[in-house]
């Protein structure tokens, strides 16, 4: 493990979709300061993984079986210290779910990335997520930190 690995901030990705977890991970990997240390498939799984892994940030989906994202946020209020970024297409601005997530202390709410096929859209979406994670962690954005984000889908991304 190199010195830079020690500094890495850790993330837990919570989403019932395998594909979505892959995509979120491949976006997060673009920031050398971040590292996904675990994945959970629903809120209950996430609570267990948080206890075991103590991530610095949690990326949380809302629509999930067993325990959904809102259910997780409720539990997290007293049990999970890490900030939670909600990533969902159901929590639209102004929706009651958005308000619920805000009231439950979600650090940020983002739309799920879409259109990875068209490269421009993907990069915008990916950057938004990376910027949001950086902001929640109190880090400068990749751009401001002078770190160039390699494009997703690059040879080893």
For 34, the token pair is 């971040």
CB of 62: closest distance to other proteins in angstroms?
Answer: 8
Using DSSP's 3-state secondary structure scheme, residue 75 falls into helix
79 binds other proteins (CB under 8 A): yes
Residues 93-132 that bind other proteins (CB under 8 A): 93-95, 98-99, 102-105, 108-119, 121-122, 128, 132
Site string for other proteins, 13-42 (x = CB under 8 A): ---xxxxx-xx--x----------------
Q: Nearest-CA neighbor of 135 among 94, 89, 61, 85?
A: 85
7 binds other proteins (CB under 8 A): no
52 binds other proteins (CB under 8 A): no
Q: Nearest-CA neighbor of 87 among 148, 37, 53, 136?
A: 136
In whole angstroms, give the CA distance from residue 128 to residue 133: 9
Helices and strands in the chain, H and E counts = 6, 5
First to last CA, the chain: 19
In whole angstroms, give the CA distance from residue 155 to residue 157: 6
In whole angstroms, give the CA distance from residue 64 to residue 45: 11
Tell me which stretch binds other proteins (CB under 8 A): 5-13, 29-37, 86-94. Answer: 86-94
Tell me which stretch binds other proteins (CB under 8 A): 1-9, 10-18, 29-37. Answer: 10-18
CB of 106: closest distance to other proteins in angstroms?
Answer: 8
Residues that bind other proteins (CB under 8 A): 16-20, 22-23, 26, 43-44, 47, 51, 63-68, 70-71, 74-81, 89-90, 92-95, 98-99, 102-105, 108-119, 121-122, 128, 132, 152-154, 157
């Amino acid at each position: 493990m190199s010195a830079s690995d020690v500094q890495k901030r850790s993330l837990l990705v919570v989403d019932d979709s395998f594909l979505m977890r892959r995509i979120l991970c491949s976006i997060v990997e673009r920031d050398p300061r971040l590292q996904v240390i675990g994945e959970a498939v629903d809120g209950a799984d996430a609570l267990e993984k948080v206890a075991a892994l103590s991530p610095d940030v949690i990326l949380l989906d809302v629509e999930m079986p067993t325990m959904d994202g809102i259910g997780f946020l409720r539990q997290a209020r007293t049990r999970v210290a890490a900030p939670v970024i909600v990533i969902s297409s159901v929590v639209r601005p102004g929706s009651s779910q958005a308000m619920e997530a805000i009231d439950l202390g979600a650090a940020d709410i983002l739309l799920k990335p879409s259109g990875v096929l068209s490269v421009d859209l993907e990069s915008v979406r990916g950057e938004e997520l990376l910027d949001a994670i950086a902001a929640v962690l109190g880090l400068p954005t990749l751009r401001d930190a002078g770190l160039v984000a390699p494009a997703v889908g690059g040879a080893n991304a």
